[in-house]
Amino acid sequence: MNTTELRQKDVAGVQAEVKALQKAHFGLRMQKATQQLNNTATLRSTRRDIARAKTILVEKQSADKTAK
C-alpha cells in the first residue's frame, strides 16, 4: 500500500492497516524461523510499510488534535 492510499483513510483505517501489517510481519518472521521463507526481502519491505503507516497515523492524530 502506498502513501496516497494510506492518507485517504481515516485514523481507524490506518490503525487497522498497521495491525494487519504487523500480523503479516509476524507470520513472515515465523516462516523465517522455520526455514520456510524463500524471499527474505519481504521482511524488510513489511517493516518499512509498518513504519510508513505509523508515520501517517501520527500525522493524522496530531492534525486531529490541532483541529480541535
Cell of 56: 501517517
37 contact partners, CB below 8 Å, separation of at least 6: 28, 31, 43
Residue-wise pLDDT for 10-27, tens only, equals: 999 999 999 999 999 999
37 falls in which pLDDT band (50, 70, 90)?
A: very high
User: Does 68 have pLDDT greater than 80?
Assistant: no
Is 0.85 topped by the overall pTM? yes
DSSP 39: -
Residue-wise pLDDT for 44-58, tens only, equals: 999 999 999 999 999
DSSP 34: T
For 1-68, where are the alpha helices, taking DSSP H only? 3-8, 11-33, 41-67
Going by CATH, does the domain composed of 10-63 fall within 1.10.357?
no
| Average pLDDT of the chain, as a whole number | 94
